[in-house]
Structure 1
Amino acid sequence: MKTILALSFTLSVFLSVSAQVGFQVSPGKVFFQQAAGQPATQSVTITNSTPNPLVLQCTFSDWIRDSMGDKIYAAPGFYPTSNSKFLKVVPESFSLAPGESKAVEVSMLIPPGSDKAVSNSMLFVTQINEKDLAQKDKSKQAMMLFRIQIGIHIYNEPPQLQNKNIEIEDVVIFNSHVKTPKPGTATEKRDSIIINQQLMKAYIQNKGDLIAEGTLRFELTHQKTLKEFKPEPVPFNSLPGDKLV
């Protein structure tokens, strides 16, 4: 009798555009501009780009962002900035044949008093038949089960909010010692040398009432040589009150 070792992983993807990771969604972000008592519905299209049938489930989650830009998740309605309790998705679960696309409807109805600030949540679309697909392939003694999960940002910006304000509070340049392989050697520790690098940190804060997205670009000039240097642009996404580094 064959022994099957199954390792289960959940691969989560958060989208600004469509991603090809087994299935695709579009759009990757949904923006509402609803005042209290005004219902609205938007569509999200999901496409099965695999050769296998998929069973998918839609759920909502709260999230906030820490100072490093990482998301912290919680149950629907946990965070005061959440709108997940005001959302419905139809259908909540469905099947997709290979190559098939389906539109799910995301509806929002903000209750009175809950439209004073920007609110947000995450719509997760999760594959739930990964075990069934793996069991069909009995040729392998060990399997790795990948559950694909895509997160779609849901935002509401009430129409009375107009102030968009992102500020750079400080820029710090500092030295850092980094281990790096010697030129022409393997990447092993014994072949490493310590080099001195100059790094830059920018501290920004969203002081407005609206979502602020953009890209930080800097141009630096050496005071003695006048040589110009352009660091790689850094994209950012911020909610009101966010402080990012």
Structure 2
Amino acid sequence: MKFSCFFKSIIPLILIGLQGFAQAGITASPSKIYYRLPVGGTSTQKVSVINPIGKNLEVGVSLGDWDYDTLGTNNLHDPATLKTSCANWVKVLPGSYFTLLPEEQKELTIELTVPITADKNIPVHTAMLYFTQLNPVDSKSENGASIKVSVRMGIKIYHSFTQADERNVEVINFTDKKKVKLGSNGLLELKIENTGKIWLDGKVMWELLNIQNGEKIKMENVPFLSLPGDKTTLVMELPANLKKGHYSATAIVNYGNKDELKVVELEFET
């Protein structure tokens, strides 16, 4: 197995609870809000909360922490427990409780103030803003059973000290894994690290080349999200109908605009 890496430079709304019942309670947007402020700075953003149903909804507002695990999945934590937390920097106006009339839309002001004691060695701070439906509503499950549904929506908050987007990704490893389950031809595993100073919203594009006959096989793109310092593992299943042979796999990591790419190659046999 041979692995090589080179660099090319051309100069959800989170629903926590029962999915499938979106119209059973509150909706909120946008799904993410961003602040770029120096130490001591204050700024505000607007968030809209909507009641899409025909009864009053009581809504509670709270804050928490979050981060990503190595697979890029959200981990939720209590507020102000992570060193990257900015939960204590956030104020929600007019307050932490309100009522939405049927089909009413309410606009809230989300104010973030960076304390003078903020650690500038941590380039990105985050928090999660929750809107929780306090009075459950009647709904139906997929099999028609009557249930009570309460919805909690999460909006991610990001803070950076700088206006500049200092993006960078380093490839830690690129390898093939043999058959890991019945009917599998194995998989490709790419490990990357966000070595920049900003959040990333990227994707990996995959391609196989049969070195013996020149056949190219393109596979689905895999999106990824990461924060500075995150190490992320991205996995691509090899096609089930992949013929035995000698292959070259290419993974193109797009971590910013179209010109910010890392390209890695791997040779393997099936």
Q: TM-score range by the shorter chain?
A: 0.7 to 0.9
Select 2:167's aligned residue among 160, 164, 167: 164
Higher mean C-alpha displacement, 44-53 vs 201-210: 44-53
TM-score of the superposed pair, with normalisation by structure 2 = 0.71
Provide the residue aligned with 1:147 in structure 2. Answer: 150
TM-score of the superposed pair, with normalisation by structure 1 = 0.77
Provide the residue aligned with 1:62 in structure 2. Answer: 65
Q: Is the 8 A contact 1:217 1:234 kept in 2?
A: yes
Pairing 1:213–2:201 present: yes
Provide the residue aligned with 2:85 in structure 1. Answer: 82
Pairing 1:129–2:138 present: no
Provide the residue aligned with 2:231 in structure 1. Answer: 243
Partner Cα distance (1:196, 1:11) in 2: 33
Shift of 1:49: 1.6
Partner Cα distance (1:58, 1:176) in 2: 47
Shift of 1:71: 2.6
Shift of 1:167: 2.2
Q: Is the 8 A contact 1:115 1:158 kept in 2?
A: no
Partner Cα distance (1:71, 1:153) in 2: 11
Partner Cα distance (1:76, 1:177) in 2: 38
Shift of 1:115: 5.2
Q: 1:212 to 1:156 in 2, by over 3 A?
A: same
Q: 1:177 to 1:74 in 2, by over 3 A?
A: closer
CA-to-aligned-CA distance 1:82-138 (integer Å, 9 cap, x gap): 0000101123111112221111111011111315121001001111100xx44x99x
Runs (4 or more) in structure 1 with deviation over 3 Å come to 19-22
Pairing 1:37–2:40 present: yes
Q: 1:243 to 1:200 in 2, by over 3 A?
A: same
| Identity rate, percent | 29
Higher mean C-alpha displacement, 234-243 vs 165-174: 165-174
Partner Cα distance (1:107, 1:177) in 2: 48
- Opposite residue 134 of structure 2, the aligned amino acid is I
Q: Is the 8 A contact 2:18 2:149 kept in 1?
A: no
Q: Is the 8 A contact 1:12 1:149 kept in 2?
A: no
Q: Is the 8 A contact 1:119 1:156 kept in 2?
A: yes
Q: Is the 8 A contact 2:179 2:187 kept in 1?
A: yes
Provide the residue aligned with 1:3 in structure 2. Answer: none
Q: SS of the residue aligned with 1:81?
A: coil
Q: Is the 8 A contact 2:25 2:133 kept in 1?
A: no
Matches within 5 A, 1:44-55: 44-55=47-58
Partner Cα distance (2:229, 2:158) in 1: 15
Partner Cα distance (2:18, 2:197) in 1: 29
Q: Is the 8 A contact 2:25 2:57 kept in 1?
A: no
Partner Cα distance (1:222, 1:160) in 2: 44
**Count of residues paired in the alignment:** 209
Shift of 1:160: 6.4
CA-to-aligned-CA distance 1:52-71 (integer Å, 9 cap, x gap): 32111111001222112223
Q: Is the 8 A contact 1:82 1:121 kept in 2?
A: yes
